[in-house]
């Protein structure tokens, strides 16, 4: 359990067992849920570090599970999709999915994705390098890098790992026009195969969540810019 808990929402017991075996080998505690409803409740109870979420479930689908989880948690989510299943990538991203894996997948590959997502999304525990304890300002929003938390007027605004990384990058470069490629590079990392639309979806989500607290301007033909200063209140 030294690495914390992973909740796996998967109705196929063979896949569940295989995934469990690999994740336990990596030092995770694993809780498997065979249905979506149970998955939501288990995430609420266990507060896992990451959720592995099958899209095709017997009751509510994985997207709906993610939607319900997002009401109370920004935990990283990796979707599993069945062979031949059309991945609604944009829908998944809007719901705050952090990665996808298509079945059949190798459990070693899944374990590697779990490590990669956690590397990108986790703040180090305790005192870390100076810039990891920084609190950046985005309009009236505070981007607390150490706590991995966005606050507006003192209240936490729940963000997904990607939204946080994106806002952090914008806040590190206030007033600068940043290309979608630069943003993808900084907030998603070199091992991400996303396209420019991915950035647009996440910016739209951030605008919705932050409202007038900060202004992210579209720079036509290029990307986005975080307006410096307090912005309209």
For Ca ion, the binding residues (CB under 5 A) are 11, 54, 56
Which residue has its beta carbon closest to Ca ion?
A: 56
Question: In angstroms, what is the minimal distance from the CB of 64 to Ca ion?
Answer: 14
Rounded Cα gap, residues 98 and 55, in angstroms: 14
The residues, ordered by sequence, that sit 6+ positions from 205 with a Cβ below 8 Å of its Cβ are 94, 96, 160, 163
Given the complex with Ca ion, which of 56 and 228 has the nearer CB atom?
A: 56
The length of the chain in residues reads 233
**φ, ψ dihedrals at 183, nearest 5°:** -65, -45
Question: In angstroms, what is the minimal distance from the CB of 150 to Ca ion?
Answer: 33
Question: In angstroms, what is the minimal distance from the CB of 54 to Ca ion?
Answer: 4
Question: In angstroms, what is the minimal distance from the CB of 82 to Ca ion?
Answer: 6
Structure tokens at 32: 């498997």
Given the complex with Ca ion, which of 13 and 232 has the nearer CB atom?
A: 13
Provide the pairing of β-strand 50-54 with 5-9: parallel
Given the complex with Ca ion, which of 79 and 224 has the nearer CB atom?
A: 79
Q: How many CB atoms lie within 10 A of CB 186?
A: 16
Given the complex with Ca ion, which of 4 and 34 has the nearer CB atom?
A: 34
């Amino acid at each position: 359990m030294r690495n914390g808990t992973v909740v796996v929402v998967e109705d196929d017991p063979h896949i569940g067992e295989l995934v469990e075996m690999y994740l336990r080998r990596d030092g995770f505690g694993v809780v498997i849920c065979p249905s979506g409803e149970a998955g939501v409740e288990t995430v609420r109870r266990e507060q896992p570090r990451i959720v592995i979420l099958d899209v095709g479930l017997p009751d509510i689908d994985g997207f709906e599970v993610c939607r319900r989880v997002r009401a109370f948690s920004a935990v990283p989510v990796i979707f599993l999709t069945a062979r031949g299943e059309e991945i609604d990538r944009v829908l998944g991203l809007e719901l705050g999915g952090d990665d996808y894996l298509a079945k059949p997948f190798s459990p070693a590959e899944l374990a590697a994705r779990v490590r990669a997502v956690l590397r990108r999304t986790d703040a180090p525990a305790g005192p870390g390098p100076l810039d990891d304890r920084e609190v950046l300002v985005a309009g009236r929003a505070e981007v607390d890098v150490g706590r991995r938390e966005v606050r507006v007027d003192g209240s936490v605004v729940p963000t997904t790992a990607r939204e946080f990384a994106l806002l952090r990058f914008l806040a590190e470069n206030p007033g600068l026009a940043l290309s979608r490629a630069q943003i993808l590079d900084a907030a998603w990392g070199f091992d991400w195969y996303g396209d420019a639309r991915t950035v647009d979806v996440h910016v739209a989500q951030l605008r919705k969540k932050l409202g007038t607290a900060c202004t992210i301007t579209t720079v036509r033909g290029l990307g986005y810019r975080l307006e410096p200063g307090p912005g309209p209140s």
